[in-house]
Amino acid sequence: MKITLLGTGDAVGTPHIGCNCRQCTYARDTGIERLRTSILINIDNHSILIDTTPDLRRQLLNAGSPNIDAVIWTHGHYDHFMGFGEFYRVQKVPPVFAAPPVMDYCGAIFHFLIREKHEIPINKPFNLHGIEFTLVEVTHPPICTCGVVFSTGGVRIGYTSDTNEHLPERTRELLTGLDLLLIDGLFPSSFKKVEKHLNYEEAVIMAEELKAVDFRIVHMSHYLPFNLAHQGYDGEQFIF
């Protein structure tokens, strides 16, 4: 199984349009970017996408133009599902999997395109191409938002790009002891108690509390520099 970080940025990405801060200037000068956060999973010639960002066309081109066999949506915010339209006239539209409230919202917007949708209850495992997936509840008010835990061959991975520290107990159980945790760290540690997200320090503390073997910070804003420990970067891959 191979995991690729297609993007590690927040809703607006880095560089931020019209911004001349240190990080955005560095990004423009070097050509580095943080596209909106999503991940690609490859296993046995199958490709599964978690979240379809507005950067999806470029992300798939960067990843070698894989044919996507399935899409999992975590929640109905613009930066996590609105790129689904990029499948139009590109490939057979992949089936979509999401928690019922997420499917209700996102599926209504893409009703003209979706051909196959699967509503998956939270905390109920389901199988895709030999990988067991479980949608877990996270806290990203005010809408229903899920993280994803998936496993194969004894390897367990967790993804939660939008959450604060108030995770349900069952979610903490499922996120404990992962081989790799991909976790929201939107702002520098100087931003305290952000309602909908973790800051960098909170993300690191949570990863340590959850006893992750390895972890990466994703969903980062342009306020975060490019040299922090444990931060993910676009195109980074993990092979298990």
| Residue 94 contacts residue 114 (beta carbons within 8 Å) | no
Q: Is 90 exceeded by the pLDDT of residue 191?
A: no
Averaged pLDDT for residues 138-155: 96
Q: pLDDT tens digits for 79-96?
A: 999 999 999 999 999 999
Q: Residue 192 pLDDT more than 80?
A: no
pLDDT value of residue 53:
98
pLDDT value, residue 190: 84
Terminal-to-terminal C-alpha distance of the chain: 5
Kindly state the average pLDDT of the residues 95-100.
98
Query: What distances in angstroms separate CA 128 from CA 48, 118, 181, one per listed residue?
Result: 8, 12, 20
What is the DSSP annotation of 220-234?
B-TTS-S--TTB--T
For 107-132, what is each residue's pLDDT tens digit? Answer: 999 999 999 999 999 999 999 999 99
In this structure, the dihedral spanned by the alpha carbons of residues 64, 68, 72 and 75, taken in order and rounded to 10 degrees, is: 60
Amino acid letter, 57:
R
Give the rounded percent of residues in the chain with a pLDDT score beyond 70: 100
In this predicted structure, the answer to whether residue 194 has a pLDDT above a threshold of 80 is no
Q: Band of the pLDDT at 38, cuts 50, 70, 90?
A: very high
Q: What is the pLDDT of residues 226-237, one digit of tens each?
A: 999 999 999 999
d(CA 110, CA 194): 31
* DSSP reduced 3-state for 148: strand
Query: Helix (H, G, I), strand (E, B), or coil: what is residue 160?
Result: strand
How many residues are recorded in the chain? 240
Q: What is the CA radius of gyration of the chain?
A: 17
| pTM, rounded to two decimals | 0.96
